[in-house]
């Protein structure tokens, strides 16, 4: 085959054949396709529409450009993917909870992207823990601990790694076909029996409107189901941070409070909803409601916390982390409370602005080479609908320097809107699609 012929078909708004997409994906992986051809491919797909069948074919071609994991386990393999939000640390609670419910969870996760935090960065706030699990050891570690949260090795969907880098510099990131293939090529390489997708919508998400979120949720769920993986997408609210904390160590603290029964709220509720859906889709629960009850039960009785501790230890973290997590987590040198200058009800929260404030504090990356400071972030963030009086805290800033804390304070104040009347609380789950 010839890359130029495939590009010519795309230029004519024709969808390449499955064999052609497989050839091109393999060329991305082994560099048989040049950077110029990769860029032209990304732009052509971005400007056109592969359709449902073409999107599925590209996803599977990119998955098969590397290795697909194989399992010999006594339970189903499941996973979850979130499209990204602020204060979204569901994965860290969900993985051990699902393992306690009889599933195996090889969760391949990513780093922070833009204003959203990364699961791997959060986990690495725990001293000694490594998310760089060697590809050959992943199955054994999953069997031993029941769940693993790790980064993708170079052997998982290498075509995606190459194409993503090209997309980033050619302005072709915002393509539904390419987004779908990128996300699912890595998830389907895990060979899961069931997958649940958390598609965020709102101020703290990449998708700001229901129309955008619904289009992505349908593309992801339809493609994954067409690829043979039972998949349901939940469109969930991100009009405010999911947890009352944004950052790395501070979100680990929020996770541990849920796992040890010291906190409830939206983070715990969404974990149960997502877990319940994937348990039902994997045949481990009668329906999503029954599955959610199972997830809530293993969190409430401490079994999920114990499983989390086993996963942490298996990945090199401290043995006694669950029992005394605060002793291990890094702390910021500057703690600065942001208080309300007037009374009112919290009517809006700009989650993206808060996420970018954390990046500016050093809790995320402005360029790929930046080193993340795990200690910085925001905690005790006020919730939508809360009534505040003058002088009441809106958030706590964790910073490395006073000047950084002052910059963050200005952003926090601008991001939180107060009004005279309370706004109706947003629904946590907006829609379910697929399954």
Q: Which residues are catalytic?
A: 79-82, 119, 167, 182, 186-187
Please state, as a whole number, how many other Cβ atoms lie within 10 Å of the Cβ of residue 353: 17
Contact 415, 357 (CB under 8 A): yes
Give the Cα separation of 314 and 292 in Å (integer). Answer: 27
Please state, as a whole number, how many other Cβ atoms lie within 10 Å of the Cβ of residue 23: 18
Give the Cα separation of 19 and 298 in Å (integer). Answer: 46
Give the Cα separation of 371 and 354 in Å (integer). Answer: 19
The CA-to-CA distance between both ends of the chain, in Å, stands at: 37
Please state, as a whole number, how many other Cβ atoms lie within 10 Å of the Cβ of residue 185: 28
Give the Cα separation of 363 and 249 in Å (integer). Answer: 9
- Interstrand relation of 334-339 and 393-399 (parallel, antiparallel or unpaired): antiparallel
- Interstrand relation of 230-237 and 429-434 (parallel, antiparallel or unpaired): antiparallel
Integer-rounded Cα Rg, in Å, for the chain is: 22
Give the Cα separation of 309 and 320 in Å (integer). Answer: 8
* Residues paired with residue 232 on neighbouring β-strands, in sequence order: 196, 434
- In terms of Cα–Cα distance, which of 399, 335, 333 is closest to 362? 399
- In terms of Cα–Cα distance, which of 34, 49, 42 is closest to 3? 34
Q: Is 228 left (phi over 0), alpha (psi -120 to 50) or beta?
A: left
Give the Cα separation of 359 and 112 in Å (integer). Answer: 9
Give the Cα separation of 354 and 414 in Å (integer). Answer: 9
Tokens for 28? 């991305």
Give the Cα separation of 188 and 194 in Å (integer). Answer: 10
Q: Helix-strand-coil percent breakdown of the chain, rounded to 5?
A: 45, 15, 35
Contact 153, 114 (CB under 8 A): no
Strand order through the sheet with 78-82: 78-82, 194-201, 230-237, 429-434
């Amino acid at each position: 085959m010839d890359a130029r012929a495939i590009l010519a078909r795309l230029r004519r708004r024709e969808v390449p054949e499955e064999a052609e997409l497989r050839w091109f994906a393999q060329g991305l992986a082994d560099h048989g396709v040049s950077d110029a051809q990769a860029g032209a491919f990304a732009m052509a797909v971005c400007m056109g529409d592969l359709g449902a069948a073409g999107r599925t074919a590209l996803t599977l071609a990119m998955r098969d450009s590397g290795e697909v994991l194989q399992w010999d386990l006594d339970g189903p393999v499941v996973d979850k993917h979130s499209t990204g939000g602020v204060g979204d640390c569901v994965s860290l609670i969900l993985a051990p909870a699902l393992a306690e419910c009889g599933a195996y969870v090889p969760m391949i996760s990513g780093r922070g992207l833009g204003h959203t935090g990364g699961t791997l960065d959060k986990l690495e706030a725990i001293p000694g823990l490594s998310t760089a699990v060697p590809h050959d050891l992943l199955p054994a570690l999953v069997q031993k601990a029941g769940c693993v949260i790790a980064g993708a090795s170079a052997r998982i969907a290498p075509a995606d790694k190459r194409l993503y880098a090209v997309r980033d510099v050619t302005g072709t990131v915002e393509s539904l076909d390419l987004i779908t293939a990128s996300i699912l090529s890595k998830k389907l390489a895990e060979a899961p029996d069931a997958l649940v997708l958390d598609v965020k919508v709102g101020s703290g998400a990449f998708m700001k409107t229901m129309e955008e979120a619904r289009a992505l949720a349908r593309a992801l769920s339809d493609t994954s189901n067409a690829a043979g993986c039972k998949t349901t997408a939940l469109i969930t609210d991100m009009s405010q941070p999911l947890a009352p904390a944004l950052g790395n160590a501070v979100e680990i603290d929020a996770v541990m409070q849920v796992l040890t029964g010291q906190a409830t709220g939206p983070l715990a509720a969404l974990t149960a909803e997502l877990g319940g859906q994937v348990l039902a889709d994997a045949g481990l629960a009668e329906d999503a409601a029954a599955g959610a009850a199972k997830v809530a039960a293993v969190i409430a009785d401490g079994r999920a916390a114990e499983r989390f501790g086993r996963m942490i230890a298996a990945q090199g973290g401290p043995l006694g982390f669950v029992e005394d997590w605060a002793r291990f987590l890094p702390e910021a040198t500057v703690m600065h409370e942001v208080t309300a200058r007037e009374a009112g009800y919290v009517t809006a929260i700009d989650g993206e602005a808060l996420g970018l404030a954390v990046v500016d504090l050093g809790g995320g990356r402005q360029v790929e080479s930046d080193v993340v400071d795990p200690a910085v972030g925001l905690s005790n963030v006020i919730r939508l609908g809360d009534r505040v009086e003058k002088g009441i805290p809106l958030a706590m800033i964790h910073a490395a320097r006073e000047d950084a804390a002052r910059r963050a304070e200005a952003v926090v104040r601008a991001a939180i809107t107060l009004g005279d009347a309370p706004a109706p609380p947003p629904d946590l789950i907006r829609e379910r699609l697929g399954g």
